[in-house]
């Protein structure tokens, strides 16, 4: 009655090492960071946050004839590389949901991710995207509006926000009527 000592053979060890190597070769490239994709994800989440604020914080006030100027909006500045989420005629900045001590004010996508930003199609030439109480996007400056809806300001075509860095591109679409924001 001899007891055999159990151990791995050299062939089994080589096989396990090869399998681990193949798995590593497949998994590691997908863990690299893509600054354009990260910037797009960050910006889409902030656009959705601005829309959410507009829907839960209805700014209608029967005693204020200019209540529509207080709607939540995302405003781009410095050739569209910086953005802020503001309301109350650009005097109140949104609190960062991840850190309530911070505001979403002058977030610089170029400094943070190295991307350039272009607004085209439904928001070409505009720097402000405002949301009404239903979450519908309105384009253009609302600081001088004297009516809840000004002709041609309710977004009628999909707004494209293009982020670019070293040949990499991500496009954010904001759809009219729903304000749904997505990355393609």
Where are any strands of DSSP class E within 41-184? 73-77, 82-87, 92-93, 95-96, 99-103, 107-108, 116-121, 128-131, 137-139, 159-165, 168-174, 181-183
Question: What mean pLDDT is predicted for residues 147-172?
Answer: 90
pLDDT at position 7: 76
E-state strands within 23-146: 73-77, 82-87, 92-93, 95-96, 99-103, 107-108, 116-121, 128-131, 137-139
Question: What confidence category does residue 88 fall into, taking pLDDT thresholds of 50, 70 and 90?
Answer: very high
Tracing tokens 């949301």 back to the chain, one arrives at 131
Question: How confident is residue 175, by pLDDT bands cut at 50, 70 and 90?
Answer: very high
Over 80: is that where the pLDDT of 14 sits?
A: yes
Q: Is the pLDDT of residue 1 over 70?
A: no
């Amino acid at each position: 009655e001899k007891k055999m000592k159990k151990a791995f053979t050299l062939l089994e060890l080589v096989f396990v090492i090869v399998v681990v190597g193949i798995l590593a070769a497949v998994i590691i490239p997908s863990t690299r960071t893509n600054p354009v994709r990260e910037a797009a994800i960050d910006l889409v989440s902030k656009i959705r946050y601005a829309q959410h604020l507009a829907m839960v914080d209805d700014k209608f006030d029967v005693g204020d004839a200019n209540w529509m100027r207080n709607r939540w909006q995302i405003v781009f500045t410095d050739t569209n590389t910086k953005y802020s989420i503001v309301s109350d005629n650009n005097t109140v900045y949104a609190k960062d949901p991840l850190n309530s001590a911070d505001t979403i004010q002058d977030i610089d996508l170029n400094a943070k991710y190295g991307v350039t930003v272009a607004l085209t199609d439904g928001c070409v030439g505009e720097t402000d995207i405002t949301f009404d109480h239903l979450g519908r996007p309105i384009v253009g400056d609302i600081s001088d509006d004297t009516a809840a809806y000004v002709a041609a300001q309710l977004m009628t075509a999909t707004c494209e926000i293009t982020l670019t860095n070293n040949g990499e591109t991500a496009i954010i679409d904001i759809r009219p009527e729903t304000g749904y924001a997505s990355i393609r």
